[in-house]
Amino acid sequence: VHFAQQFYVLPTVVDPGVRFVRRCENGQENLVPDFYATGAWELVLGEAAALVVLLGGHAFCTRTHYFFDCACIHQTDRVLKAAGVAHIPDFIRKSGELCVLWDGEYLTRLWCVYELAVAHAPSARTPVRFVPLGMSVMLVQLHVFCFATQSVKMGLFLCRTVNPRLPFWTRHLLAGRTVMFYVCVLTDACCFALVARASAELARMLRSMEEELNRFEVGKTEIFDEDDRRMLYESIQEMY
């Protein structure tokens, strides 16, 4: 999109203060901006592509199927629920991998522990992939923050280039090169701080994971329905 914009396939907003160069086209020399044309196409089309993937990306993964226990197992009929729970080991063993959406409270939930126990049962081990939820949240926050800051910078730029009716001091106060430079530095610093915080949280979580596994006890886990605890205990004892 950026290269198409530079070759004037897409309309652009040009900063009048940029350096111009001579370009010879069809025997005629024209003054054109030296690769500094700026437009909203990258911003708008990039955001549109991100929203398409976010809201409709699952439609492109038609060959991938997931077993989600609370949606695939009956939650009100006790007989059907017991039958579904009894076949959880079969579902997991036939799966390509177990995707764990990891957070600090994962090992405190008995249902989560039970599925991990099934995946690591001696009879049939299933690969486990850990997806830290903190990093996923950080990616969403970073996306929203970058889109907002880029929109603000684009608005400041348009104040100087598109609206010449504004007073000179107003246009250059809002979108002068010095102001734009410090705005870019500030937004980049905020992005760096956001990524650094999420990375530090991920490192802390990875360090604590081994400690949590070492002091883990099934009897101290939590479960919504206490009637299910005995059933899961018996299933874990049979596997191990």
* Segments making up each domain of the chain, as ranges: 1-63
Structure confidence by residue, pLDDT tens digits, 175-233: 556 777 777 788 888 888 888 888 888 888 877 777 777 776 777 788 877 777 777 77
pLDDT digits (tens, 9 = 90+) for 9-59: 555 544 444 444 444 444 454 444 444 445 577 778 888 888 888 888 878
Residues contacting residue 158 through CB under 8 Å, at least 6 positions apart: 13
Is 105 within 8 Å of 205 (Cβ atoms)?
no
| Residues pairing with 21 in the sheet | 32
Q: What's the pTM value of the predicted model, to 2 decimals?
A: 0.62
Cβ–Cβ < 8 Å for 187, 194:
no
* Per-position b or e across 194-213, b if 16+ CB within 10 A of its CB: beeebeebeeebeeebeeee
